[in-house]
């Protein structure tokens, strides 16, 4: 936010828009990569954060599926928060 407020006082609208577009693009790319990796590695993440689920294959599988369904929420809510801050 300090950079954005500095841009808004000292730069033109086009430069501010370019900064926001670059930041939004970078944020989207990084979050999409993290989301893709997390969705691919869901069973291993479950082993790390809920090691007790490893003893029950059905529970591990269902939990990994649920993680794959809900993890994109982090991408979307992060982009929403970025948009709200601008």
pLDDT in the model for residue 42: 93
Task: Provide CB contacts within 8 A for 19, sequence distance 6+.
Answer: 3, 4, 7, 11
Give the total number of structural domains in the chain.
1
What is the token pair recorded at 54? 């490893």
Q: What is the pTM of this model?
A: 0.77
**Segment 9-64, tens digit of pLDDT:** 787 888 888 888 999 999 999 999 999 999 999 999 998 998 888 889 899 999 99
Dihedral, CA of residue 52, residue 53, residue 54 and residue 56, to nearest 10: 120
| Residue range(s) defining the domain that contains residue 60 | 2-85
pLDDT in the model for residue 14: 87
């Amino acid at each position: 936010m300090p950079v954005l407020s500095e841009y808004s006082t000292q730069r033109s609208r086009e430069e501010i828009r370019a900064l926001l577009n670059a930041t939004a693009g970078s944020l989207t790319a990084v979050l999409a990569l993290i989301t893709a990796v997390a969705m691919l590695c869901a069973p291993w993440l479950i082993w790390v954060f809920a090691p007790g689920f490893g003893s029950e294959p059905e529970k591990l599988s269902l939990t990994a599926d649920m993680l794959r369904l809900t993890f994109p929420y982090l991408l979307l809510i992060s982009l929403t928060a970025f948009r709200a801050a601008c």
